[in-house]
Structure 1
Amino acid sequence: MKKFSKISLLVSDLSSAAILRAYLIATALINLGYEVEIMGFLFGNNLYRNLPPDLKVYNFPGKNFPDFFGQLHEFLPKINGDIIYAIKPQVASFGVAIIKKIFSKKPLILDIDDWEMSWHGGDNWHYHPEPKQLLRDLLKPDGALRNPHHPLYVKWMEGLINQADAVTVHTKFLQQRFGGAFVPNGKDTSLFDPAQYDAESSRSRYGLSEYRILMFPGAPRPYKGLEDILTALDKINQPDLRLVIVGGSPYDDYDRQLQQQWGRWIIKLPKYPADVMPDLVAAAHIVVVPQRDTPETRAQFPLKLTDGMAMAKPVLSTRVGDIPEIVADTGYLVEPACPEQLAEKIQFIFNNLESANQQGIKARQRCVEHYSIEAMASTLKTVIAQL
């Protein structure tokens, strides 16, 4: 491992959540003693999240084809790590990394943290345009194929995965599909440490003291099953229950739709810095992750699970994808899209809160062992040793 000292992480779009995966991998690599830089293109207006100032992040303006090729002329010489680590099988990360590997002979690792094609229909997606449509997609200023993130290019990148010297994946679903080493996102369990927080004080701080709190610490989307939780609260119909949504959706007006129908059960809190999140999660009685069963969710590892597990909270989730394996016997699981089962389990947890909190303590132990930054670093050390 001495022959490698610096690692360049390439991110296809620094204005997307891909930067979070890059940050966690970077943190684990720094723990192993590597110098790390994060590099990528900015297709949106701002970084998805500002990372700590001591972490080097270089961004270049993201442009569509053919201007993207001009960007490469400036971008490629800046990649000077001993290892190239591409985040996502996208042209703007993995495609660039393959080109750099060809000319530099440096080893290339590809990280796959989501099944990108699942957002476009998965294996059923095909691109078979008529000749005129193909020309329009290629030549018009707003042509679909000018976008480097077009699913056609993602499909091509998936076909080139064997060009990587090593592959890391976020879930067992992705491992079965693409192979590679299983490296789930690690939680900073020294930051997310329940011993540093008092639940009652946290509830008081956020105006939640008079309620029994179900918390969803993330951005609502239809596939995340919040409608099922809210329907379950309708069924239970106990006035001191509340679903606390932290941060809200940056994508659309889905928050407003939920508020219109179920506003009496919802408390919406703003987005807080990452270092405040443990204090927020400490205020929860139960952390809920009611994921629905879709092609997209089967490939995902909801980070809200380890938020709750690390903070020793009872975690209520659904039997979708890797979730049963992640929480194992430390959480509470129901079938997806089943408000009746959610209602029963919510009442069961509150009726047996002491034993539920003991489950939460077991969940933290499991998180520290399997889903911490240290666990992540241990696997990455093995991956790099085999290059």
Structure 2
Amino acid sequence: MKTSVLCFDLSDNAAGRADLLARLLAPLGEVEVIGPRSGPTPWMPVAGGPVRYAGVPERRMPGFIMTMAELARRADGDLVYASKTRLGSAGIGYLKRILGRRPLLLDIDDWEVGFYLRSGPAGTLGRAVNFGNPKGLPWTWLTERLTGLASGITVASRFLQQRFGGTLVPHVRDTDAWKPGSGSPMEARRRLGIADERVVMFLGTPRGYKGLDDLGAAVAGLGRKDVRLAVVGTLPESVLGRDLARRFPDICLAPPIAFEEIPSFLSAADVVVVPQRDTPDTRGQVPAKLFDAMALGRPIVSTRVSMIPEILEGCGLLVEAGDVSALGAAIARLLDNSGEAAALARRARERCVERYSFSAARRDLFPLIEQVTAGARARR
């Protein structure tokens, strides 16, 4: 069986979820990720991996209609799996479902319309009339309203499951390949320019709602010369990178890294922090990097947002979103109590293997795929 995974922008971090879906489906046969691309190549962290990508340059409306037609032609899998309720993925999936009569799975890992609500009523109104941008609010709203066209739905969080239904498939990790001790932490420290200091690390795509300001202030507030904050995934020369370096002079910044390099960098961390804020953007999200740290058995501090408390119950420290003082205290607690940190890290690894591994996800996902493909075969 061949599966065509649809991604609305191959050059953006949206490709991360599409890449995960492709890896999960690899045992079932050929898999290809297809979609528009806003840049010349797929998103750097996944570009060198085992998943095959095929994209066409992104265009604005009305030219995007021709882009959709070309991508629909290329999406020739026996199963179409659209990642996110976006026109460049779900919209093409709906075309394949209606015109090509292909079984369509729709994966929802973000509340996409929620991204447009943070700008307030005036900003949302302005975005609502932006019909020229295929990633804009009108088309995103439309594709979200049409989810009933899918043969089946998978979601990445409880919030999304309550909103859209479907089968829960979190941002799982390959715990057979990623284990404590994986990678080369000394090489990662060398690249970060950190020698003997303790490392507090954030690894991921920088966004305002991810709480980097809170984390920088929390680590600075510790006032400890033996602790360095490393932010991996932020270009030092970017606007955000320059701003972080100006406000937190001791910070270590590293550009985005390949997916295969994650074990080395996270293994160099004494504490991994996921300081998610509570906003319309994040209520449907579960940060994928949470599962990276769990798979690799790292001590974790995060916030009580979305599904994070359920995931980290008994195997990580939780604070209220935006509480810089509590965040700093939790980081210091793990740095100063190696026994507790090791016990939490061990339980996080065990939880990841049990609930958030490839094998755990496939137990739920593969029967769903069999159901929708069998139904399609019966209708032919």
Q: Give 2:233's aligned residue.
A: 247
2:108–2:154 contact (8 Å) kept in structure 1: yes
Extract unaligned runs of 5+ from structure 1: 138-143
Q: Partner letter of residue 32 of structure 2?
A: E
1:53 offset after TM fit, Å?
6.5
Q: Partner letter of residue 15 of structure 2?
A: I
1:124 offset after TM fit, Å?
7.7
Output the CA distance in 1 between the equivalents of 2:191 and 2:65. Answer: 51
The CA deviation string for residues 75-114 of structure 1, in whole angstroms up to 9 with x for no partner, is: 3232221111111111121111111211222211111111
Output the CA distance in 1 between the equivalents of 2:147 and 2:315. Answer: 35
Output the CA distance in 1 between the equivalents of 2:190 and 2:139. Answer: 50
1:346 offset after TM fit, Å?
2.0
1:275 offset after TM fit, Å?
1.5
Q: Give 2:323's aligned residue.
A: 338
Q: Partner letter of residue 217 of structure 2?
A: T
Output the CA distance in 1 between the equivalents of 2:35 and 2:184. Answer: 40
2:212 counterpart (207, 218, 226): 226
The CA deviation string for residues 304-347 of structure 1, in whole angstroms up to 9 with x for no partner, is: 21121111111011111111111121000111111111222222
Output the CA distance in 2 between the equivalents of 1:344 and 1:122. Answer: 29
Q: Partner letter of residue 115 of structure 1?
A: W
Q: Give 1:141's aligned residue.
A: none
> Of the two, which has the highest radius of gyration?
1
1:286 counterpart (263, 268, 271): 271
- Evaluate the alpha carbon distance shift between residue 271 and residue 357 of structure 1 in structure 2; reply closer, same or farther with a 3 A threshold: same
1:44 counterpart (39, 47, 56): 39
Tell me which moved more, 273-282 or 62-71.
62-71
Tell me which moved more, 197-206 or 45-54.
197-206
Count of residue pairs the alignment pairs up: 371
SS in structure 1 at match of 2:263: helix
Q: Give 1:170's aligned residue.
A: 156
Q: Give 1:306's aligned residue.
A: 291
- Evaluate the alpha carbon distance shift between residue 154 and residue 296 of structure 1 in structure 2; reply closer, same or farther with a 3 A threshold: same
- Evaluate the alpha carbon distance shift between residue 124 and residue 152 of structure 1 in structure 2; reply closer, same or farther with a 3 A threshold: farther
1:249 offset after TM fit, Å?
5.2
- Evaluate the alpha carbon distance shift between residue 202 and residue 260 of structure 1 in structure 2; reply closer, same or farther with a 3 A threshold: closer
Alignment partner of 1:277 is 2:262: yes
- Pairwise CA RMSD of aligned residues? 2.7
Output the CA distance in 1 between the equivalents of 2:254 and 2:332. Answer: 24
Extract unaligned runs of 5+ from structure 2: 373-380
1:34 offset after TM fit, Å?
2.3
Identity over the aligned pairs, expressed in percent? 36
Alignment partner of 1:375 is 2:370: no
1:117–1:123 contact (8 Å) kept in structure 2: no
Q: Partner letter of residue 39 of structure 1?
A: I
Output the CA distance in 2 between the equivalents of 1:297 and 1:356. Answer: 27
1:159 counterpart (124, 141, 145): 145
SS in structure 2 at match of 1:57: strand
Structure 2 counterparts to residues 1-387 of structure 1, below 5 A: 5-31=1-27, 33-49=28-44, 50-52=46-48, 55-121=51-117, 144-197=130-183, 203=189, 206-248=192-234, 253-264=239-250, 266-387=251-372
TM-score by length of 2: 0.90
Q: Partner letter of residue 54 of structure 2?
A: Y
2:182–2:267 contact (8 Å) kept in structure 1: no
- Evaluate the alpha carbon distance shift between residue 125 and residue 25 of structure 1 in structure 2; reply closer, same or farther with a 3 A threshold: farther
The CA deviation string for residues 49-79 of structure 1, in whole angstroms up to 9 with x for no partner, is: 3545653321122212222222344332322
The CA deviation string for residues 130-168 of structure 1, in whole angstroms up to 9 with x for no partner, is: 9xx99xx6xxxxxx3121111011111111111111011
Tell me which moved more, 228-237 or 280-289.
228-237
Tell me which moved more, 108-117 or 73-82.
73-82
